[in-house]
Homo-oligomer: A and B are copies of this chain.
Amino acid sequence: MHLDVAVAKTRKYATPESGDTIEMIERPGGGLSFVVVDGQRSGKSAKAVSNIVARKAVALLAEGIRDGAAARAAHDYLYTQRAGKVSATLNIVSVDLESRTLVLSRNNHCPAIVSLNGKIEIFDEPSQPVGVQRGTKPVIHELPLAPGTTVVIFTDGLTGAGERKGQPLNVPELVRELIGRQLTAEALAQTLLNEALTADDQRPADDISILVLAVSALNRSDDTRWLKVSMPL
């Protein structure tokens, strides 16, 4: 099997900085975790909040702490630091090579979308953001690490794209259509982003982050892992 992950992150038009933070960390038992955080509001204050939450979550995951506990701790930490007054959404997506599962942990009103061999499932159970309500827990789904699985996670800048014009993107519908085209993880993320930018006339009304994770049956001849980063300076 082979894993491909693509993460795209762009910022609200005319703000100096995205309020979203995305971090990746290796799991000490094997595998990777991705943490996607959208801090309340936008710009510098949002970035400070999302940084606190992401940092706490990755520090714990790096020590081998399970995803549910890391999400709870990230909530408690933000809640304590900011006296329950500031919220953030938090998604943790883990490829756990110990349990051979995908673990999706969600503190976000945006759904997580999973496709298994073209069949789409929308995980949209009620879910609280972290930081504001005592005792907040994540909604967790654990799936077998199986070829043909695609996971799409995003912040609400994607679902909100086009709202200004009264034509918000229907993200689940769009993903359903794109999954049929058998795109790579990168092409899928790029297409979703392009649709959002078009809906917002190339001036995003909010920070947008998109994570696409694809597990394929591909067996490459070599064992090399790759990490690639591209960003404007």
Contacts and interface: CB of A to CB of B under 8 A. Distances in A.
A231 B124 CA distance: 29
Contacts of A228: 4-7, 185-186, 226-229
Interface string A119-132: 00000000000000
Nearest to A22: B227
Interface in A65-91: none
Q: What copy number does this chain have within its complex?
A: 2
A231 B222 contact: no
B24 A227 contact: yes
Interface in A1-31: 1-11, 17, 21-26, 28, 30
B23 A26 contact: yes
Contacts of A220: 232
A24 B24 CA distance: 7
Contact of A231 (B185, B225, B229, B230): B225
Given A55-B62, A62-B59, A226 B3 contact: no
Contacts of A202: 222
A6 B231 CA distance: 12
A137 to B, nearest CB: 25
A226 B224 contact: no
Contact of A226 (B8, B97, B222, B225): B8
B10 A28 contact: no
Interface string A157-194: 00000000000000000000000000001100000010
B229 A10 contact: no
Interface in A179-218: 185-186, 193, 197, 202, 215
A32 interface: yes
A231 B3 CA distance: 5
Contact of A25 (B5, B23, B28): B23
A228 B219 CA distance: 18
A7 B56 CA distance: 25
Nearest to A50: B26
Contact of A223 (B32, B186, B232): B232
B2 A230 contact: yes
A58 B35 CA distance: 15
A51 interface: yes
